[in-house]
Amino acid sequence: MALFSSRRTRAAAAPVEGTAATLTVDPALAALTGDYVIDPAHSSIGFTVRHAMVTNVRGSFTRHEGTLHLDGSDPSRSTAAIDVEIASVDTGIADRDAHLRGSDFFDADAFPKMTFRSTSAAALGGDTYRITGDLTIKDVTRPLSIDLEFAGSATDVYGNERVGFEGSADILRSDWGLTWNAALEAGGVMVSDKVKLTFDISAIKQG
């Protein structure tokens, strides 16, 4: 199946402000309904955080797994579950990664996984969707909403039917008990509280 880049039909009228758009059912999207497994070799879960008030540090978690259930006819019935191995954190600096795995931050030995379990999903219009769920880091679970753009679908050279999504969400790490910091002489702190999470997902249809 070829890559679908413009298969959505738009709603006949603009959505009411503050509500999700009402979309007509596109047969091509409806055909994507099913269960998917995230392909970790072609997906990434990353983060960006301000360092020393002047620059950004970027990193990712290199080991993760997850499943999706997509309902192309009724996106509100779609679900997602993701498990991330904390020990796989990678910022390109071994000492920094060891600090992140330690008790000042993630305490990976005691809390080896970060998890996300969706509780609701909604179509926002066009190619954009919002999935809301429970993000658990260490022993803290809090709600998180992620806005995702549907990148399309294709059948790869091995016959796997794939879908792609990319998106992001901003969090305050202190909400999950990640509070370590150090004051700078000139004012401010070493690590910002705000963290941007990024998701680039390729998933393979099952069955």
Q: What is the pLDDT of residue 99?
A: 96
Q: Which portions of the chain are predicted below pLDDT 50?
A: 1-23
Q: What is the pLDDT of residue 14?
A: 42
Rounded Cα distance, 119 and 121, in Å: 7
Q: What is the pLDDT of residue 205?
A: 98
Q: What is the pLDDT of residue 144?
A: 98
Q: What is the pLDDT of residue 207?
A: 85
Q: What is the pLDDT of residue 49?
A: 96
DSSP string, 71-93: -SS-GGG-EEEEEEEGGGEE-S-
Which are the contacts of 153, defined by CB distance < 8 A and separation ≥ 6?
1, 3, 4, 32, 161, 162, 163, 164
Burial of residue 89 (number of CB atoms within 10 Å: 0-12, 13-18, 19+) = buried
State the pTM of this model: 0.85
Q: What is the pLDDT of residue 24?
A: 66
Tens of pLDDT, residue by residue over 74-100, are 999 999 999 999 999 999 999 999 999
